[in-house]
Structure 1
């Protein structure tokens, strides 16, 4: 797995010792790379079948079930005629390059965030990755060109954003302070050697031409693209979407079932939001309109400049600091919660969500991160920030990821969207239950808005890809349900267009975790304790939802 995903080794901090050579490598995104992945998956599944069904160690049983599920799902995705099917990942997409997919985004973020440069060997590894970027870009370009030949191109509005982003990256690529070279310049400032000069030569001679080739292909796609948002009108689109839903939810729920669940949950959430809004004196208009009006109050916003950006990060950090002392009420065994909050790369911001986060390296040398989108500071305010940091940071992605990293290494590499995002949404619920909003009704409104946001994702994702909705209809439904700003809403809808099915994992996952908690309470009565339930869920690691149910059954039986 690490040979196929060398950057994952760097993210986890295990590109050392026998794996040290991976620090300078990139994954192969060409058609030949897909063939290699399929060969690995086929062989790995054959090996996994050799493990006895009565294996006595439960951790091993769980790991075998997890790997088998991840490998089988990925192999099914790779059998489809086009697209990116990740092995134990969440960024499955029919499109190899869009506004939020591709090497043009992934490598700058890796180099800035996780790529260590502590000595000359590390600096050489950085340059090796820069040198490998053209092949990775060209591999993507070949695949999207082949997909175009099959009649598949992204929607025109996604291509417009991707073209703008890559054009900006090209303009900054050879800049010693830009996204490709700047991190190396900063990290080698006290290190002898012409590191920046060597990087500039690599970028100018090889990376820039590869980016130009990819940009030319995107322009060719744009010339034939349409505004059709979903997969329904694309060749093999319904087949791809059915797989995307399976991969993202680890269930076989139908689009109609998922759509109806989202509609029903929105009704309940809006009723709760209505009460809070009336408490602020907002009684006229829809729930979403009143939520927008509240967020526009000056006392709940931040300046629209660099000082405002600094204040946003400070406010986020304050919420993380405030929840830490309350965590012993929700977990039996605490981990460190190694976390820093950073602005995401500027080139990425136009096509990115408000923030995202994840754990750092296994040894703790690289902290987990919340990457926050500060391109448009107006998308952040004191209504929405608390919910955001609890989801992305603690007790959400960063927190849960540290528990997972204590399991066998394969379990840190493999992840399941429904569990990952379901846990992060459940973490928002825990923050509410731990009293984080007792004196913050605006923040609690933001929490309910966040739940509504995830519920309406079930509605719009299935609407776009299974019911033929336009981007405009999806935007209207999304804004009516959430009250999020137009710029934020557009980024969200475009993300659902680029990653079909991924947005459904959040609410499906949280709904299942809550259902398992209800089951545990009913089965255990007075013996039930929230700390033990939460511990069982995080100690079991990142799993498909059927494996989660098995883990909870084992926890109930053990008590």
Structure 2
């Protein structure tokens, strides 16, 4: 089993604070049987804050499965994406941040104090984002984007996927809610269009290579919409008579109301393309350096500068390559850099899937086999396991050209919607048999789906708010945990796949900061990441484009993992023979999704408790 050294953050004391706030190192723990009046009041406040946020983002209520009972009407509503709607959301955040900040937490239990601090962090950071002159701001989520509609951002992608995977169709009332929400799609797209035009007028135009992808994808979505397509497909697939009866109305809505706004968005993208340059990074956009510093802070929940992140990436990459070299030599790959030798490995037909649908079926079978294996190992790593229902789905065809190789997440809070792993099957050449195991462990178990099941057991506001550095840091830690459980023990090539993915995440620190702060071109970034990892040019091209449209997001992965590993080593050193891996893992996942300094507090409390 292998891991790589983690001296980097400790050596330069890199983690300097979450989101610029002095968040207390408060810790979750067991809630007392009898809550004090102060605790009951704070709990009620946090619940009210959660519902006030969901009122602005009803789609989130649906994905969590909490739009039921008195909140059922939210199932038929969509977010107001217009400038006015975003301003109203920001005002709610401002009001609720003040309410939460006014709470005297001196008499509160640790879990409640932690929840208050998590809200403060998420809301303060989001308000800093809304103070930027443009872009989409994720409130307690992971995707901040300067461009409202681009190759991997926008309702033209998000909404069809949501109707297909999240929108329930259990009875006639659900059909009514489906149609109500569908009727609001034109307004949501029009709100985006208004913000697209406003951003262009202030000089914000995406790079030409992103716009070329977005235009092609938008054209495909419009062609699909002309047939009713994804907007009506879930209804036609349903066994409900009411759903099938609604199909003609849905098709009409798609053709007469949705298609014209999509066409207007397409014309706007083309207008932007006429003005676009090939400059990849935010340095070339108006206010771009300030935007990037905020985006980097939002992603990592630290105050690391672009220069520090860049250096951290180079150092981490070197340590991972040192781990790969002896394994490569043992397999007979002795000449060239680690990246060159991994590229040679990728050409080995033993690790390739067949082309076309035959290979797609092989990939799906491979994924399910690895899920079954890792699920059986979880009692070895956690004192309390979760059910973690999940399904594996292919990404929608319109999304695949601009999407990463895969992504995933936990299901709904009520368990009615399973967790999902979305896999990009645009071409089977995106995947190798030695890379898929790590991808599975990252997206499903013990990664995103697994961790999310624990967060779903926390109060509603904690299920809503998530921090990129923790979410993705945990998923990378999950890859290493799978390694420590023996996932790759009998497969040296799988071991290399795991280390190659780790090197890939270190490269992200280098190329993200390189493009957005150091004025690297897309070609420079693509050359660096392919040479250092040995990954394919086509796969890495989509990754580079993702970093251009989601500035800073890719940096949260390795920063978060290194901090989790640093905390684990602190616990091991402090506890000696009292240290238990299962106890440490429980302290992290039951503490919930938190900024990194709050994570440190969770671990400190675990150490104090285990010390007796």
Q: Which of the five TM-score ranges fits, normalised by the shorter chain?
A: over 0.9
Partner residue in 1 for 2:23: none
CA contact (8 A) 2:238 2:244 kept: no
> Which residue of structure 2 aligns with residue 230 of structure 1?
281
From 70, 81, 86, the counterpart of 1:34: 86
Aligned ranges 1:148-159 → 2 under 5 Å = 148-159=200-211
State the partner residue of 1:376: 427
Q: CA RMSD in A?
A: 1.1
CA shift, 1:191, in A, is 4.3
Residue deviations 1:330-383 (CA, integer Å, cap 9, x gap): 111000121111101110000000000000111222110000000111111111
* Mapped contact 2:209–2:278 kept (Cα < 8 A): yes
Q: Give the corresponding residue for 1:7.
A: 59
Is contact 2:81-2:188 (8 Å) kept?
yes
Quickly say closer, same or farther: Cα 1:196–1:518, change in 2 above 3 A: same
Q: Tell whether 2:110 aligns with 1:54.
A: no
1:40-119 → structure 2 map (5 Å cutoff)? 40-119=92-171
- Find 1:488's aligned residue among 516, 535, 539: 539
Cα contact 1:84–1:95 (8 A) shared by 2: yes
Report the CA distance shift for 1:53/1:208 in structure 2 as closer, same or farther (over 3 A).
Answer: same
**Matched-pair contact (CA < 8 Å) for 1:295–1:383:** no
Q: How far apart in 1 are the matches of 2:326 and 2:415?
A: 43
Aligned to 1:401: 452
Tell me how far 1:483 sits from its aligned partner. Answer: 1.1
Moved over 6 A (4+): none
Distance 1:409 1:122 in 2: 23
Distance 1:420 1:193 in 2: 39
1:142 to 149, 173, 194: 194
Asked if 1:249 is matched to 2:300, the reply is yes
> Are the counterparts in 2 of residues 123 and 188 from structure 1 also a CA contact under 8 Å?
no
2:217 corresponding residue in structure 1 = 165
**Is 1:317 equivalent to 2:368 in the alignment?**
yes
CA distance in 2, matches of 1:114, 1:292: 38
Following the alignment from structure 1 to structure 2, what is the Cα–Cα distance between the partners of residues 36 and 371? 32
Query: 1:342–1:372: 8 Å Cα contact kept in structure 2?
Result: yes
1:172, CA displacement in angstroms?
Answer: 0.6
Distance in 1 separating the partners of 2:238 and 2:542: 32
1:460-539 paired onto structure 2 within 5 Å: 460-539=511-590
| Secondary structure at the counterpart of residue 363 of structure 1 | coil
| 2:236/2:243 contact within 8 Å kept | no
Given candidates 348, 367, 372, the residue that maps to 2:418 is 367
* Cα drift, residue 129 of structure 1: 1.7
Number of equivalences: 558
Residue equivalent to 1:219: 270
**Distance in 2 separating the partners of 1:82 and 1:517:** 39
1:439-488 deviations in Å (ceiling 9; x for gaps): 01111111001100100000000000000000000000110111111111
Question: For residues 125 and 208 of structure 1, what CA distance do their matches in structure 2 show?
Answer: 21
SS of residue matched to 2:117 = helix
TM (normalized to structure 2)? 0.90
Question: For 2:56, what is the secondary structure of its paired residue?
Answer: coil
- Which residue among 503, 506, 526 is the counterpart of 1:452? 503
Pick from 283, 292, 304 the counterpart of residue 355 of structure 2. 304
Cα offset, 1:282, TM superposition: 1.5
Contact conserved, 2:470 with 2:593, CA < 8 A, in 1?
A: yes
The one-character-per-residue Cα deviations of 1:396-446 (angstroms, maximum 9, x if unpaired) are 000000000000011111110000000000000100111111101111111
Bigger mean CA offset, 375-384 vs 392-401: 375-384
C-alpha contact 2:235 2:244 (8 A) present in aligned 1: no
Query: 3-state SS of the aligned residue for 2:490?
Result: coil
CA apart distance, 1:194 = 2.1
Correspondent of 2:596 among 534, 545, 554: 545
Unaligned runs of 5+ in 2: 1-52
Task: Give the TM-score of the pair, scaled to structure 1.
Answer: 0.98
Aligned partners of 2:227, 2:385: CA distance in 1, in Å? 44
CA gap 1:144/1:192 in 2 versus in 1, 3 angstroms: closer
Which one scores higher on RCO, CA 8 angstroms, separation ≥ 6?
2
After superposition, give the CA deviation of every residue in 1:241-284 in whole Å (9 maximum; x if it has no partner).
00001100000001111111110111111122122222221222
